[in-house]
Amino acid sequence: MCRVFAGQDPEGYRQINRSIRIDGHSTSIQLEATFWALLDEIAENQGLTTPKFISKLYDEAIEINGAIPNFASMLRTTCALYLRGHRPGMDEQMVPKRQAA
């Protein structure tokens, strides 16, 4: 059973840095190659470039949550949600926006 996971190609978990402009600031994000491939796929499905998708995701997360403690982790969990079948449009009606205190 674990051979499927243990025997995976090391290229998939190689760290890759990409420079992206978010909220007018240039920043570097480091993720594993597999996550970058998934983010590229998600962005393409949304009709966006990966940098535009990430920037839009950041803006919406700030609007909803007010802060993002670890954006790289948020990108990884975005990929996990995508793999579990969650898709924009389908889920947007199901996730209530956080109420102001």
**CA 37 to each of CA 17, 25, 26, 33, 74: distance values in angstroms, whole numbers, following the listed order:** 13, 23, 21, 6, 16
Structural contact between residues 52 and 39, judged by C-beta atoms closer than 8 angstroms: no
H/E run at residue 38: helix 33-45
pLDDT digits (tens, 9 = 90+) for 18-39: 999 998 899 999 999 999 999 9
Instruction: Please tell me the CATH code under which domain 11-84 is placed.
Output: 1.10.3990.20
Write down the domain spans for the chain. 11-84
pLDDT digits (tens, 9 = 90+) for 6-20: 999 999 999 999 999
pLDDT at position 88, please?
76
Structural contact between residues 46 and 87, judged by C-beta atoms closer than 8 angstroms: no
Structural contact between residues 22 and 58, judged by C-beta atoms closer than 8 angstroms: yes
pLDDT at position 100, please?
46
pLDDT at position 101, please?
45
3-state secondary structure of 44: helix
H/E run at residue 30: strand 25-32
Residue 68, Cβ density class (10 Å: 0-12 exposed, 13-18 middle, ≥19 buried): middle
